[in-house]
Every structure is written in C-alpha cells, then in structure tokens.
Structure 1
Amino acid sequence: MAVLAPLLFIFLVLGPSSINGDTDPSDVSALVAMYQSLNSPAQLTKWSSNGGDPCGENWKGVTCSGSRVTEIKLPSLGLSGGIGFQLSSLTSLTEFDVSNNYLGNQIPYSLPPNVQRLNLAGCGYSGTLPYSISQMHSLEYLNVAHNQISGQLPDMFGQLSSLSILDLSSNSFTGDLPESFSLLSSANDMYLQNNQFTGSIDVLANLPLKTLNIANNKFTGWVPSQLRNINLQDGGNSWNSGPAPPPPPGTPPVPSGGQSRQPSGSVPSSGGSTGGKKKSGVSGGAIAGIVISVLIVGAFIAFILLKRRSKKSKTDIEKTDHHQSVIPIPPQPDSVDPIDSVQDSAMVDTKAVQDSAMVNTKTFEMPPVINLKPPPITHTKSFDDNDSTSKPTVPKKVHVAPPDATSYSIADLQIATDSFSPDNLIGEGSIGRVFRAQFEDGKVVAVKKIKSTALHGQLSEDFLEIVSDVSRLRHPNVTELVGYCSEHGQHLLVYEFLKNGSLYDFLHLLDEYSKPLIWNSRVKIALGTARALEYLHEVCSPSVVHKNIKSANILLDSELNPHLSDCGLARLVSDTDQDENVGSGYSAPEVSMSGQYTIKSDVYGFGVTMLELLTGRKPFDSSRTRAEQSLVQWATPQLHDIDALAKMVDPALKGLYPVKSLSRFADVIALCVQPEPEFRPPMSEVVQALVRLVQRANMSKRTVSIEQGSYVRTSNQDSRES
C-alpha cells in the first residue's frame, strides 16, 4: 500500500490531462490569436476567442495528435483579416492550408516552423515572401499561387532540400531565378507561369523535375536539353531560336550543384577572376586539339568497322552492340557532350559514342523512349511519333500496368458490385455505366464499365495508354483514378467514390428531404471546377481538352467540394455521342458547326454550368416555352441587367445571396458564353475573377449566419441520405 499510494497520486495528477486530451497551451494561444485576427468569423465553428480545447472540442479544420495541433485546413471559407503573428509556436503543425481567403497584404513572418505542406494560394497577398520560409527544412509543398506577390524572388531555397512541389504561379515576380533553386534536390513539380521572371532557366537544368510550367514570363536563352523530356510548358517567353551553341573549349563539366552549361559568350556564374579564365582558355585550347585528333581517328576506325559489319545480319549487329554496351557510356546519348566524354576517358567513350550513333542508335534510345512517358494528354501522339530513330525498333504501344493505378480482376469487381447489379447502378453516360462497388475491407469505389463500342475496335494496349494518361492527372478538383481492369475484352475504370453524387442531381433532382445549395456553396463549386479546368488547360502539357463539361460530370464530396470527372477520356466518346452532346445545351456554337472541340469550347461549357448554378435551370428544357428552352439564349441578354438578374436567380435560394457577388458571378458567365471563341477568357483568368469575387464578398452578418446554418443542415442531411 505504501508503494501504491504515490503511484495513485501521480495518476490522479497526470491522468486527467492525458485522458481529456487538453490541447497544449501554446497551441491554444496561437489559435486564439489567429481567430481574433480573422475577426472571429462565424464560419469557424467551435473556435473561441476566450481559449478552450481545440483538440477536445473538434474546432473546425483543426486536427490533433495527442495534445498537439498537427493540421489546420481552412480553405475557401470566405475568411478575411489576418492569420496572426503567433503561428511559430505551432511546432507540431505539419499542414497549414488557408488558401482562397482574403487574408491581408503581407504574408506574416511568423509561420509554423516544421510545416510540411503550406498553402497560401489565392489570399490576396502582396509584398514579398517572408525569409522565415527558408528555415522550414521539412517543407515538401509550398503554394503561394494567385496572389499579387511582386519583386525579386529571394535567394532563400538552399535549405529546402525536401521541397517536392513549388507553385509560384500567377503572381508578379520579376528578375532572374535565384541560384539556390539549383539546390532543390527533391523538386518534382514546379509552377512558375504567369509571372515576369527574366533571364535563363539554366539553374533548373539538373533538378529531378517531372513537371515544369514556365509559360508567360520573360525568360530568354535556351531551354536546357535536360528539361525537354519532362512535362514542360514554356510558351509565352522570348526563347532564342535555333539550337543552343556548344560550350566553349575547356568548359568544365556541369557541376552537381545544378548549374548547367552557359550559352556561348556568357560567363559561368561560378567563374573566378579574369586571370583564372585566361588560364582555363589556354589549357582548353590544348585539350581541344587532342580532342579533335581523337575524334577524327575514332570516326575513321568506326567507319571501317561499319563497312565490315554491313555484311552481318541485323541480329548479329544487335548482339554485337549489346555486347559493346558493357563499356561505360553516358545514359542519354542525345545529350552527350563529346568534350566531356573525352575528358573522362577519351578513346573508349569516343568509340562507344561513335558506334552508338552510327551503328545502332536504337539500343540506347529505347530506355528514354519507354521511361519518359509524355505528360497527360488526350490525343494519341507521343514522343515515339517524333523520334524517327526509335520507330523501327520500339513498338508503337509499349505500355504495361500504369504505376499509379491498381489492376483489378473482373472477378474482384463482380463480387464488389454484386455482378453489376442494377441496385448498384449510380449513373450512365455516353462512355458507359457507373456502379458502386464495395470490397471486403469496406473500401467503396465507383466502377465505370466502358461500352464495347467506346474503344472503336481498339486493342487493349490503347486502353492501357488511356489509363496511363488519366492516372497521371493529379488535382484536388479532378476525380482520382484508383485503378482499372482489362480482361476478357472487358475494360473498366475504377474511381474514388464521391458520396454526394453529381451537381446535376443537386440542382435538378431535389425532393422534400433535400436541402438546396446555398450561394456560398455554388460559388465554391464554380471556383473548384474552374481550378480543375485551369489545371487541364494550362498546367498539363499538351493541354487536355475535356469535351464534355456539364453538371452531371461534376461530382461532390461530403464537404461539397467539386471533382471534375471523365477527364482524359475524350478519345472514348464516339462521333454519335458527340452529336448528342451538341444538342445538350452545353456545346459551343463552333462545335455545332464544325464538330471541333478546343479548350475554348470547354470554357463555354463551364459558363453554361455556371448559369445552371445561378438559375437552377437545365441548359435545355423542352418543357418550357420556346423562348426559354435554351438557357444561354434566354439568360445572356439579361446578365448585365441587375433587375432582370434578380428575377433569374434560382428560387431555391430564397433571396439569400449578396447582390454584388451575384452581379460579378453573372459577369464571369457573360465572358465564358460569348459566341466567338477567341473572346472567351482562359481559365486562369476565370479562376482569378472568381477568387476576387470571394474575397470582395461583403455579406451582412445576418446573411452569413443564415447561410452557414443552412450549410450545416445540408451537410448533415446529405450524410443521412447517403
């Protein structure tokens, strides 16, 4: 008993705090300061300016582990004000997302120091990036897109070796890219488009990039050869025409730090004094003489060998070259620098390069052709089509199971869908039927069973190519492809399951148990869908044309976030199905005349969908009078008349909307549904317009509280219905 007494005392003292899960006081203080800086918004349910227990009380958007706050996710809530100056005390925070709110002019210096994902996109920030970001050594994702941040980008990326995704797009950055970019050793995706960056992009040459968007800047020089086989979008710059010149004699190999070769006549950034440069030139001339001699001799020997081997069969040549591939050679012969090769091992590598180029180019070009899959596209053209040397040797379709999608068997999907029972049918479109599937582990997915006519007699390899392309489409507002099935002539796609169904259902299939979409939710859906199209049109390279934008293809999750479906499946839509789409009310005028779809026709379809959100009407409704059957023809003349606009609004809203927000929403619609495609805006401009609409919305407290209450009831009702 004497031993148990102290233990019991310790348990009574320490036990309750751990059992009740009281939040760390420093985390509470930071969140209270943040709440007060945001003007105590009603949207942040459970939050309090008088302290409390964020972890125990489930404050909106706050996730905890034990007593520490680990995630804060508050995107697109119409917040305004600031995010406070105590965030540095949130030392356990790994994700901080306050994107698409209006949060002031300057990003605060005090940010969570150990955050891994930081999303400050679309917050109205100007000024510059705070230098505190340079100390976030765990940072993997940084997004400050769609702000008004300006000036030279600080040279502060040297310690961010874990940074994988960097999005600085749609700001006003100027000047050259910082040298410390070359130290982003984990960078896979980089978005720098729609800024005013200048100079060359050589600093990016040796990064492990898979996606790079540098469109619409003021870059000059040449695109480094190392970046030509990635998902690259570089239009709207002032690139030098023609091939890049070779480096001057004696130029050292590219350092591992990431600096690529400079164009002829330029001085390497790491260069020393004038004297050092002169010394390098003298030794370089001597080396150049040796190099030229070696190359001439090597070429002569290779020519003799080629003549002797010309009598051998093709099989023998391939075997011989395969044996020679044991000799060390650079892995990508298309970017080999003969001078660098000779400096490493003159005779052996020169001979290997000559043999590779003159005898059997296909042996060493096959790996990059197979591994460097082109970015997500909807047409059949691939790098194989542009590489004449690979056509004779690489099959047109070299596709195996896509790495980012799971292969399912027909048997698995039959069990999960109860043999594709009509009870599990949740939708049907031009491509095929969609079934709800539930596996034994409880996981629920949506299975799209492709019609046998959709592939137009194509082989399974063509289907796998489509799957491979679609599996690479990654965006929060694009429906995620989970897996696929290709067996016994059957082709199926497996997607994430979104419990709230389609936007079409919400707008047009209401019953007495359903709650209509409030205004804030409609704007949120429009903005999310616009972001999805911006990704397809302006991030993917080449651009992905959807061809079938409509409310039935916009799926909603439990938080009413939109997910655009059927992305990348345009090739599966037959001409007959396209003709049916023309009469749906979503098709642009030029599609009706020529049958040609472009990104501008997608913009038109998006504008029609926005009209649905505004009016609650179908794009074409034969039950109405002839003058009102076509939604676009009926609504367009009234979009700039505020009195007529008020009469057009969906009656289900019951007048609960901000008048200014409604007017700006109508202005965006008018731009998107213009009959001339060249006058329709790009989706990036649509996104910015909708972001400004959200930021400038100045609703009364009464309107906010009523709408917020409706949203909560809607969410609860949706949960019960599903």
Structure 2
Amino acid sequence: MTTTTATTKMRGRGAAAIGAALLFLATASLGAHANTDSNDVTALNVFYTTMNHPPQLKNWVSQNGDPCGQLWQGITCSGSRVTAINLPGMSLNGTLGYNMNLLTALVQLDMSNNYLGGSDIPYNLPPNLEKLNLAGNHFTGTTPYSISQMVALKDLNLAHNQLSTISDMFNQLTNLTTMDISFNTFSGNIPQSFNSITSLKTLYLQNNQFSGTIDVLANLPLTDLNVANNQFTGWVPDKLKKIRSLQTTGNSFSNGPAPPPPPATNPTPTPTPTPQRPALPSSNDNNGPSNSGSKHSKLQGGAIAGIVICLLVLGAMFAFFVIKRKSWKLSRGQDPEQKEPLSPLASGFKQMKSIKIISTTGKDQFQKTVSMSLKPPTKIDLHKSFDENDLTPKSVTRKISLSSIKIPAYTVADLQIATGSFSADHFISEGSFGRVFRAQFNDQKVLAVKKINFSAFPGHPSDLFIELVANISRLNHPNLAELVGYCSEHGQCLLAYEFYQNGSLCDLLNLVDDQSKPLSWNSRVKIALGSARALEYLHETCSPSVIHKNFKSSNILLDNELNPHLSDSGYGDLIPNQEFQESEENSGYRAPEIAMSGQYSLKSDVYSFGVVMLELLTGRKPFDRSRPRSEQSLVRWAAPQLHDIDALDQMVDPALQGLYHSKSLSRFADAIALCVQAEPEFRPPMSEVVQSLVRLVQRANMTRMSSSESYTRRDGESGDYAV
C-alpha cells in the first residue's frame, strides 16, 4: 500500500514536472513571438514572400515568426520594433513588399546590389526612413510618391536602376544631405522642387538623359556635384563652379560667363543689399556726405520722382481705357481683335488667334469661336491658363518643318480609297475633334482615320495642323493610341491611328447584345491600371505636363487583349477650357472646380479618371437622365457609398454576376474615393493612383499563390479567386 502510494506520488510529480516544462516552453514561445511588433512581423512576412522565399536569408519565414527574437538575418531591432534592414549583395530577386509602410520604426533600408525589381518601386515604403538605398537593382518606371513624405530622409540612393520618371516631389525633404540617382534613364528638366532640399551636400545625376539647365541647383549648399553625361544646356552657374568636387563633362554647356538677364525680366535677387544711389538721396536723409549742392540734389530727385509718377499715371490710364474699350466691344458682341490696327504695344499682347470651327453632327451645324494657342507643346506650361500679359519670346508662332515629323504622310487619294471616300459604311464614330473612319488598305492593314475640319481656320490651317501632328507624334507610351501617319493636302487634315479591334470602353460597358461576353473584373482592373499609366505619362513624364481635358470611357480604346489605349491625347491645347462644358456627355466627367473657374488642370484629369473607374465598377453612365434624379449623376450617387461594404456590394455592375473578390472591390473603391474628391488639392497624383492599382494586383496574385480557396457566387456556382 505504501509502495503503491509512493509510486503514485512519483508519477504525479513527474507529470507535474512535464506539465510545467510544457507550460514554460509555451510561455517562452509566446514571449519570443511577443518580442517583435505584430505589424513588423506582418510586413516582413510579406516581404519574404514577394522576394520569392530566398533560402539564403537565415531564420526568415513567410508566416509569423519573430524577427527580433530569432535574429533574422539583416534585421536590427530596438526593443520590439524593427529599425533597420540591411541585405545588400544577397542575390535577392522579386520586389519589395506592398505593405512596407507598416514598418513605422524603420530608419534604414539597404537592399542595394540585388536583382529586385523588373517593375516600379512599390508605393508604400516605410514612412520614417533616414536612409534608403535601392541602388544596383532592376527597378523601372517612376520614383514613388511616398518618398516625398519622408521628412526625416537624409540619404537617398536609387542609382543603377532603369527608372525613367522622377516626380516634382522634393519640397519637404529639407533634411536630405546625399542623393544619388545616377545611371538611370531620367529625362526632362531637373524638378523645380530640388531648390527646396536646403541641406543637400552631395548630388549625383550623371549618366541620365536630363535636359534643360542646372540653374535650380545654384543656391544649394553642395560640396559634391556630378551632372556628367546628360543633355544639359545653358551655363554652369558661377556659384556651382566654386564647388570642391564638380563634374560637368558630356553635356552641351556654353563656355564663358552667363549672359545678363534680358531687359524684359527682373534679375534674380541676391542676398547682398543694393547700395543707395547718391544721385537720388532720400528727402529725410540727414546723413548725406555734405550740404553742398543739397538743394540741387533734392530738386533733381523731386523732378525725376514727378516724371516717374506721371508716367505711372499715364500708363494706368492707358491700360484702363484699353480694358474698358475691350469690355465695351465684347458687350456688343464684337471681337476687339478683329478689324483694328494694332499699335506696337498691342501687338506684343496679341498671342492668340480667333478661330471659327464648323462641326457637323447629323443635319445640325453649329459654329463656335475659340482661341487657339499657336505655341508648341515644348514651350507651353499646360498648368497655366492663357495670360494676355505673357510677353515671353516663347509665345511667338513657330512653323514646324515637315522633315521633323518622322511618321509617314499619306495622300488624300490613298485614304479616300481605303475609306470608300469616307462613306457611311466606314464610319466609326464622331468625337470632339472630328469624325473617325475605318481605313482598309490593299496590304490588309487597317487604320482608324480621323478627319479634322480645319476649313474655317483663317490664315494657313495646314501650318497649324502640321504643328499638331508634330506635337502628337512626340507622345510615346504603350497605353496611348499610336499616331502612325497623317495627310495634309488639298485642304484636308487627316490623322491615321492604329485600329483597335474591341472599340471603346464605353461601347463595351454599354453593350445590349445578350450574346456578348461582359468584361470580367480582372479585365476591368487591367483597363484601369493601363489607363492610369497613360495619364501618369502625360502628367509626370512629359515636360511640360500635358493635360488631357477630355478623359472619358469613349476615349479609351481596347485592343484584342483588352489593353487600353487613350485617344485624343495632345489635343487639349487646341481649344479653350470652355469648349467641352456645354456637352451633357462630358458633364459627368467634369470636376466641380471647372464649373466655377472654367479651367482644366492635372487634378481635373484625375477626377475624370475616377469617374471612369466608377463606370468600370458599376457599369453605369456618368450622367443618365433615364434614372431617378438622385441617381442621374454617377459621382453624387456613388461617392457617399464607396466606404460602405454592404452598399458597395449593391453598386457593382450586375453583369459581373458576383465574380470578384470583395477585398479587391473595396481597394478599388478606395482609389475611386480619392480621385473624385471635391477639393482638387486632396486628389492624388496619377503616380500614386498607379501604385495603388499595382498593389491591388500584387495582393491578388499573392492571394492566389497562398490560398487554394474558392468563393461562391450568389447563384451557388463556385469559381476561382479573381483580382
């Protein structure tokens, strides 16, 4: 009995010991997991997955784990937060994680000299970085807008990639001391916001395709500057010549001192105070050099001051009567620029021509008088509206040589044969700038020919048309409709574009044929992303930026693989802002500020893009009088419901039949909500919109890789996950 009791007690103590050990291990395990912040763990799990699970990274895992407690290779922690990731030269591929912004304590990220990229740098980078080094990888596209928010950033290195676009986003980076973006394919002018980087000591821009001048760098505290092997012109500012380490070879800089400012412009102010002119002393200056001749000096100063005042008064009176006379003529329906001889002063202000365009729609004809800027896009600031006081030399009309246009010229006879003399059988559509016809050539090549009516233009319409052709032919992006030829003879103005078999997005969304297959959710996301890339190119790659002004679903053309191609790009500067405002078709795309100011901008394009995304989401038209009054305006009806998941589910295009992933739908709606905000300053730049759509696709791809689940449609039919 005693032996049995002792044995039982021993067994009980053994079981208790084992239990305590297991409890200790469990507690230790929980404690280890608790060593790292959960958001940091999530971000690094995703990062490991997007790098394709590299085996060379010791202790890394794709689910859970403890980066700080388990000493993940390259990870540095402070307490429970990850503060640094240093993995240079590890032969890593894939890309950065899409949720790196969760790493809010990260101050250093060094992924240099790997094989990451093959696509854009993800937008959601850690927000509080002090050092970012992605040099020596394969990143392409644009610099992510999130860098502009890294106010603590001191060291930025994006060298030796294939980046092509750098946004004007450096206004807040006042702590940046070193920046290396060399050996990429950046082009255009140096962003103007570079002059805000007031702590910048070292700047490497070499081996890119930058052009223009480097004057924006003149007042920076640089000690090391390399701009070699670009396409810079002008002069090297004298302040930059004093830099200890300066390299400027491989450009087209002019030798010798820079020329003085032109008489029509004010010279750049300098910190040195301007000395007082002795000939014009102040009347209350008691510290003159002597009293001798003071009366004469005062009289001379008073006389000159009187003359200046008289001139100012006369000038003001002249300007007042000119403005009043112009207003009086306008009120009587007269054009003050017609049938009036121009004085030398007035001729300096005349930079626009009044042009009458006759458009024909069916049997109705209407005539409009518009103003067309004759300035080429390479000289136009498309952010600004026309200013009659702009007297800069760049506003002078310039004729463009035919030899500068690289696309082929067709004859009228060729295009008449190909279009059946522009017959109704070949008619495709009529847009804001002319009618479009299908052209079938003998070699089976098919083009879309746009017939623009310049017949009512005064002067030399052919010159205006050649300038238009030259400007459009400079635009080059896979998501823009490609201009492949033109015709300018016998008074005809014709543009030949690639023909896109699937027509416009508007037509595809509004098909009434029951046998036609509706657009899938994946295709809609694909179309949105491609269209966003087209606008991003126009806004952030073209220099100066190009405002489309007419972004809508009928101008998004789809090829056989449903890749989008934006049409009517480069036309916006032909006609004034008010031209589109009376059209009900365009009213649904028009940003609120246009109704008040009449001015289009980059942000009004962003708004129009958000409306097209709403069309993709709902299958509805932007403005539909056939619906109840509260639902006629798509934005007014949909915007308040975009963050309500239940309401959102009811808004989706019924043609999708529930074949979409709810999270993808919600993220798509989030992007729309940002784009269609009433205040233009709160709308994101197109590069940010592109990044959000890229992340949407990346997350969907990860979902498909990591899960074999399927969802069930409302009708009970199962299917695979969609984007």
Q: Which residue of 2 aligns with 1:278?
A: none
Q: Which residue of 2 aligns with 1:483?
A: 485
CA distance in 2, matches of 1:584, 1:510: 23
CA distance in 1, matches of 2:413, 2:645: 57
Q: Which residue of 2 aligns with 1:47?
A: none
Q: Which residue of 1 aligns with 2:331?
A: none
Q: Indicate whether 1:131 and 2:113 are aligned.
A: yes
Tell me the secondary structure at the aligned position of residue 587 of structure 2: coil
| 2:166 counterpart letter in structure 1 | Y
Q: Which residue of 2 aligns with 1:462?
A: 464
Asked which structure has the greater CA Rg, the reply is 2
Q: Which residue of 2 aligns with 1:682?
A: 685
CA distance in 2, matches of 1:398, 1:538: 25
* Residue of structure 2 aligned with 1:648, choices 644, 647, 651: 651
Query: Superposition pairs for residues 323-342 of structure 1, below 5 Å?
Result: 335-337=254-256
Compared CA separation, residues 176 and 616, structure 1 to 2 (3 A): same
Q: Indicate whether 1:702 and 2:710 are aligned.
A: yes
* Residue of structure 2 aligned with 1:624, choices 622, 627, 651: 627
Tell me the secondary structure at the aligned position of residue 583 of structure 2: helix
Tell me by how many angstroms 1:433 deviates: 1.2
TM-superposition CA deviations, 1:555-583 (whole Å, max 9, x none):
11222121111111113447554421575
Percent identical among aligned pairs is 47
Compared CA separation, residues 581 and 147, structure 1 to 2 (3 A): same
CA distance in 1, matches of 2:557, 2:96: 23
Tell me by how many angstroms 1:534 deviates: 1.8
In terms of fraction of residues, the more helix-rich structure is: 1
Compared CA separation, residues 473 and 153, structure 1 to 2 (3 A): farther
* Residue of structure 1 aligned with 2:166, choices 183, 191, 213: 191
Tell me the secondary structure at the aligned position of residue 522 of structure 1: helix
* Residue of structure 2 aligned with 1:667, choices 670, 686, 702: 670
Say whether the 8 Å CA contact 1:106–1:125 is kept in structure 2: no
| 1:529 counterpart letter in structure 2 | S
Q: Which residue of 2 aligns with 1:610?
A: 613
Say whether the 8 Å CA contact 2:436–2:448 is kept in structure 1: yes
CA distance in 1, matches of 2:230, 2:384: 37
Q: Which residue of 1 aligns with 2:573?
A: 571
Query: Superposition pairs for residues 45-56 of structure 1, below 5 Å?
Result: none
Provide structure 1 residue ranges, at least 5 long, that are not aligned to the other structure: 1-79, 87-103, 113-118, 272-329, 340-369, 712-722
Tell me the secondary structure at the aligned position of residue 335 of structure 1: coil
CA distance in 1, matches of 2:434, 2:511: 21
Q: Which moved more, 1:526-535 or 1:579-588?
A: 579-588
Tell me by how many angstroms 1:419 deviates: 2.1
TM-superposition CA deviations, 1:635-670 (whole Å, max 9, x none):
222222222221111111111222222222222222
Instruction: Give the CA RMSD over aligned residues.
Output: 5.5
Q: Which residue of 2 aligns with 1:406?
A: 408
Q: Which residue of 2 aligns with 1:35?
A: none
Q: Which residue of 1 aligns with 2:508?
A: 506
Tell me by how many angstroms 1:226 deviates: 12
Query: Superposition pairs for residues 284-299 of structure 1, below 5 Å?
Result: none
Compared CA separation, residues 232 and 671, structure 1 to 2 (3 A): farther
Q: Which residue of 1 aligns with 2:438?
A: 436
Compared CA separation, residues 616 and 177, structure 1 to 2 (3 A): closer
CA distance in 2, matches of 1:681, 1:179: 23
CA distance in 1, matches of 2:490, 2:649: 56
CA distance in 2, matches of 1:565, 1:539: 17
Tell me by how many angstroms 1:614 deviates: 1.1
Query: Superposition pairs for residues 97-496 of structure 1, below 5 Å?
Result: 110=91, 127-131=109-113, 144=121, 146=123, 148=125, 167-170=142-145, 172=147, 191=166, 194=169, 198=176, 210-212=187-189, 214=191, 219=197, 263=239, 267-269=243-245, 335-337=254-256, 374=379, 388=393, 396-452=398-454, 459-496=461-498
| 1:659 counterpart letter in structure 2 | S
Compared CA separation, residues 256 and 168, structure 1 to 2 (3 A): closer
Say whether the 8 Å CA contact 1:616–1:649 is kept in structure 2: yes
Q: Which residue of 1 aligns with 2:695?
A: 692
Say whether the 8 Å CA contact 1:604–1:672 is kept in structure 2: yes
CA distance in 1, matches of 2:643, 2:213: 36
Q: Which moved more, 1:262-271 or 1:642-651?
A: 262-271
Tell me the secondary structure at the aligned position of residue 516 of structure 2: coil
Query: Superposition pairs for residues 506-585 of structure 1, below 5 Å?
Result: 506-573=508-575, 575-580=578-583, 584-585=587-588
| 1:545 counterpart letter in structure 2 | I
Q: Which residue of 2 aligns with 1:28?
A: none
Compared CA separation, residues 531 and 458, structure 1 to 2 (3 A): farther
Tell me the secondary structure at the aligned position of residue 505 of structure 1: helix
Tell me by how many angstroms 1:219 deviates: 4.0
Question: Which TM-score applies when normalising by structure 1?
Answer: 0.56
Tell me by how many angstroms 1:404 deviates: 3.9
Tell me by how many angstroms 1:553 deviates: 0.6
CA distance in 1, matches of 2:485, 2:110: 42
TM-superposition CA deviations, 1:516-555 (whole Å, max 9, x none):
1111211221122122212222222222111111110111
TM-superposition CA deviations, 1:460-498 (whole Å, max 9, x none):
222222222211222222222222221122111122222
Compared CA separation, residues 122 and 190, structure 1 to 2 (3 A): farther
| 1:487 counterpart letter in structure 2 | E
Question: Which TM-score applies when normalising by structure 2?
Answer: 0.56
Compared CA separation, residues 190 and 504, structure 1 to 2 (3 A): closer
CA distance in 2, matches of 1:707, 1:476: 36
Tell me the secondary structure at the aligned position of residue 416 of structure 2: helix
CA distance in 2, matches of 1:688, 1:255: 31
Say whether the 8 Å CA contact 2:642–2:670 is kept in structure 1: yes
CA distance in 2, matches of 1:372, 1:572: 10
Q: Which residue of 1 aligns with 2:42?
A: none
Q: Which residue of 1 aligns with 2:279?
A: none
TM-superposition CA deviations, 1:601-621 (whole Å, max 9, x none):
212211111111111111111
Say whether the 8 Å CA contact 1:225–1:335 is kept in structure 2: no
| 1:335 counterpart letter in structure 2 | S
Provide structure 2 residue ranges, at least 5 long, that are not aligned to the other structure: 1-48, 56-84, 102-108, 259-374
Q: Which residue of 1 aligns with 2:69?
A: none
Tell me the secondary structure at the aligned position of residue 621 of structure 2: coil
| 2:590 counterpart letter in structure 1 | S
Compared CA separation, residues 105 and 490, structure 1 to 2 (3 A): farther
TM-superposition CA deviations, 1:683-707 (whole Å, max 9, x none):
2222222233333344774359999
Q: Indicate whether 1:638 and 2:641 are aligned.
A: yes
Q: Which residue of 1 aligns with 2:596?
A: 593
Tell me by how many angstroms 1:227 deviates: 12
Say whether the 8 Å CA contact 1:145–1:168 is kept in structure 2: no
Tell me by how many angstroms 1:457 deviates: 6.6
CA distance in 2, matches of 1:395, 1:598: 24
CA distance in 1, matches of 2:383, 2:132: 35
Tell me the secondary structure at the aligned position of residue 479 of structure 2: coil
Say whether the 8 Å CA contact 1:123–1:147 is kept in structure 2: yes
CA distance in 2, matches of 1:464, 1:502: 27
| 2:421 counterpart letter in structure 1 | S
